């Protein structure tokens, strides 16, 4: 379940609409939305092990072998491939936005910055972007695409292989 009092109503509705139309084994599933009064809630399936970032930094994550880490990366890639097929971009792919469930099933979550694109790219003037995970063209020109999601996936791979290490330390 996600609390969304920091989003304005338009952003909240956009995230809900995107989640309603995405159904894949490696994307978080939307169960319900509560909008009777603020704060609004997005209710999703339970992913008991929490975010991939916290999982990797914890004792259970630290004990994962390389094959398990690669499997987690493959699951995220599978979910992201589905997004690309659906002409969607995530724009905030990072270990903090991937959830881990039983049997180490990983699902991409947090679609607050996601967009459905009709053109090959999406232009945004929003300066509130996750810089360490963003492609150079996204940082310099606000230009997001499936290719910028691939860049973010590369940074996510670094997070996975370093058991939750911080990208570009120092």
Q: What is the pLDDT of residue 13?
A: 78
Residue 136 CA: distances (Å) to CA of 23, 45, 76, 91: 30, 34, 22, 13
Q: If one looks up domain 47-161 in CATH, what number appears?
A: 1.10.510.10
Distance CA 150, CA 76 (A): 11
Nearest to residue 158, comparing CAs of 148, 149, 169, 167? Answer: 167
Instruction: Based on the residue annotation, tell me whether 65 is a catalytic residue of this protein.
Output: no
- HEC string of 17-39? HHHHCCCCCCECCEEEEECCCCC
Of the residues 5, 92, 126, 149, only one is catalytic, namely 92
| pTM across the whole model | 0.83
Q: Enter the tokens of residue 73.
A: 């990366």
pLDDT tens digit sequence for 138-152: 767 666 777 888 989
* 6-35 average pLDDT score: 81
Q: What is the pLDDT of residue 5?
A: 46
* 47-76 average pLDDT score: 98
118 versus 139: the higher-pLDDT residue is 139
Residue 164 CA: distances (Å) to CA of 9, 60, 87, 92, 96: 33, 12, 29, 16, 9
Q: Specify whether the CB–CB gap between 157 and 73 falls below 8 A.
A: yes
29 versus 141: the higher-pLDDT residue is 29
Q: Specify whether the CB–CB gap between 159 and 53 falls below 8 A.
A: yes
Q: Return mean pLDDT, the chain.
A: 84
Q: What is the pLDDT of residue 90?
A: 83
Peptide bond into 39 cis (omega under 30): yes
pLDDT tens digit sequence for 70-84: 999 999 999 999 999
Helix (H) / strand (E) containing 11? helix 9-20
Q: How does residue 60 score in pLDDT terms, banded at 50, 70 and 90?
A: very high
Q: How does residue 2 score in pLDDT terms, banded at 50, 70 and 90?
A: very low
142 versus 87: the higher-pLDDT residue is 87
Percentage, residues of the chain above pLDDT 90: 48
Phi, psi of 159 (to 5 degrees): -60, -40
Q: What is the pLDDT of residue 3?
A: 46
């Amino acid at each position: 379940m996600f609390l969304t009092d920091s989003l304005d109503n338009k952003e909240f509705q956009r995230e809900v609409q995107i989640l309603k139309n995405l159904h894949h084994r490696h994307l978080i599933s939307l169960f319900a939305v509560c909008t009777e009064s603020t704060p609004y809630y997005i209710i999703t399936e339970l992913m008991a092990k929490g975010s991939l970032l916290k999982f990797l930094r914890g004792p259970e994550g630290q004990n994962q072998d390389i094959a398990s880490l690669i499997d987690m990366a493959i699951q995220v890639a599978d979910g992201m491939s589905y997004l690309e097929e659906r002409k969607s971009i995530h724009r905030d792919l990072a270990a903090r936005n991937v959830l881990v469930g039983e049997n180490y099933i990983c699902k991409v979550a947090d679609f607050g910055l996601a967009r459905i694109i009709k053109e090959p790219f999406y232009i945004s003037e929003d300066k509130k972007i996750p810089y360490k995970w963003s492609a150079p063209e996204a940082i310099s020109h606000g230009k997001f695409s499936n290719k910028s999601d691939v860049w973010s996936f590369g940074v996510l791979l670094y997070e996975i292989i370093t058991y939750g290490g911080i990208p570009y330390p120092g």
